[in-house]
């Protein structure tokens, strides 16, 4: 059940007025279209750890790893103190905050599978004699998306991304998806799991491999 409570002036103490009108910042307009997870702000539900539930027009800022909302004045602001957030429901997806925002893929065998991606920006600049050279950005960003992709930039550079998968518990705490985590979580089925992972060459950097393993684990749960 979703409880909807309109944001009031009192609740703005939970938010930080960052004053970002387009959230492009130092990255420049050339990658402005990649800043947000979704093409537009949409109504989302924010569930705080203290039990408070609110709604607002939200979108995830992929460059700054922030959840933004539209204020009553029409400004783009960022949620302050995200550690107080239990989870956010937005456009059919659930986002948790655990040292950064994570997007849930599914819950199988009692484990929540989530992921985030590391974004690397490479920009082509002119070197000696006007010859273009590639200079990787000194900053990496994290964002959520579906499937690894490489996006062409308007200025001739590109954005490259890599997924990182995590397992979460019922309390919203996440750890890196790994063989060690699975063997510890299902310690009573150590031998069967080792056999399965060896036979299927399970790669914890591939979503399909992890889901296949979790589906197998669901059959082992007592």
Q: What pLDDT does 222 receive?
A: 56
Angle between helices 207-218 and 190-200 (to 10 degrees): 150
Is the pLDDT confidence value at 214 over 90? yes
Phi-psi region of 84 (alpha: psi -120 to 50; beta: other; left: phi over 0): alpha
pTM of the model: 0.70
Q: What pLDDT does 180 receive?
A: 96
Q: What pLDDT does 195 receive?
A: 96
214: nearest Cα among 111, 114, 116: 111
| Per-residue tokens: 109 | 């065998």
Is the pLDDT confidence value at 7 over 50? no
Q: What pLDDT does 155 receive?
A: 56
| Residue spans per domain, the chain | 1-115+165-177, 118-160, 178-222
Q: What pLDDT does 187 receive?
A: 92
pLDDT in tens, 144-164: 443 445 555 555 566 666 788
pLDDT in tens, 107-149: 999 999 999 876 666 665 545 544 545 554 444 444 444 344 5
């Amino acid at each position: 059940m979703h409880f909807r409570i309109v944001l009031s002036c009192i609740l703005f103490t939970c938010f930080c007025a960052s004053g970002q009108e387009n959230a492009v910042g130092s990255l420049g307009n050339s990658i402005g279209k990649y800043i947000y997870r979704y093409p537009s702000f949409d109504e989302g539900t924010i569930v705080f750890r203290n039990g408070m539930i609110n709604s607002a027009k939200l979108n995830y800022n992929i460059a700054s790893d922030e959840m933004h909302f539209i204020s009553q004045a029409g400004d783009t602001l960022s949620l302050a103190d995200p550690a107080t957030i239990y989870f956010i429901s937005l456009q059919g997806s659930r986002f948790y905050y655990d040292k950064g925002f994570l997007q849930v893929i599914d819950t199988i065998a009692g484990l929540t599978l989530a992921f985030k991606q590391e974004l690397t920006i490479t920009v082509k600049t002119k070197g000696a004699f006007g010859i273009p050279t590639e200079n990787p950005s000194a900053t990496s960003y994290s964002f959520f998306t579906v499937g690894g992709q490489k996006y062409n930039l308007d200025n001739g550079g590109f954005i490259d991304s890599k997924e990182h998968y995590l397992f979460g518990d019922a309390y919203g705490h996440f750890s890196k998806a790994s063989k060690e985590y699975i063997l510890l979580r299902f310690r009573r089925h150590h031998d069967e799991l080792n056999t399965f992972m060896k036979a299927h060459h399970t790669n914890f950097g591939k979503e399909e491999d992890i889901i296949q393993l979790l589906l197998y684990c669901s059959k082992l749960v007592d």
